[in-house]
Amino acid sequence: GENVEQHPSTLSVQEGDSAVIKCTYSDSASNYFPWYKQELGKGPQLIIDIRSNVGEKKDQRIAVTLNKTAKHFSLHITETQPEDSAVYFCAASRWDSGTYKYIFGTGTRLKVLA
């Protein structure tokens, strides 16, 4: 079945530095890739997403890149701030039986050190 690998599992960066989280998916039919930020005790919040017909998307300090051939997609956070500290999840999905089901990665715990 579909599998999504996410690395690293933990990441510590100094405030102001960049953070990169990488995901690899197995199902070549996947065509939608959202990223979520989850703070402790809360539900995941969508921070950015990308569709398979686009190679890169940027929203202020956050960017996502997609390499369909290699089945890789990555989250880039620049100028990190302490409030960026959270767990980040990638997901891969495709239309199947009337819905888009997500396969989530295992998560990356990001710590931004002040």
Residue 34 engages another protein in binding (rule: CB under 8 A): yes
Looking up tokens 């295992």, which residue turns up? 106
Residue 91, burial from CB neighbour count under 10 angstroms (0-12, 13-18, 19+): buried
Q: CA-to-CA distance for 100 and 90, rounded, in angstroms? A: 15
For another protein, give the closer residue by CB, 78 or 109.
Answer: 109
Q: What 3-state DSSP class applies to 99?
A: strand
Least CB distance to another protein at residue 9 (A): 10
Residue 100 engages another protein in binding (rule: CB under 8 A): yes
Select from 13, 32, 62, 78 the one that contacts another protein (CB under 8 A).
32
Least CB distance to another protein at residue 7 (A): 13
Residue 27 engages another protein in binding (rule: CB under 8 A): no
For another protein, give the closer residue by CB, 73 or 89.
Answer: 89
Beta bridge partners of 11: 110
Taking the alpha carbons at both ends of the chain, their separation in whole angstroms is: 41
Q: Tell me which residues touch another protein (CB under 8 A).
A: 32, 34, 36, 41-46, 49, 51, 89, 93, 95, 97-102, 104-107
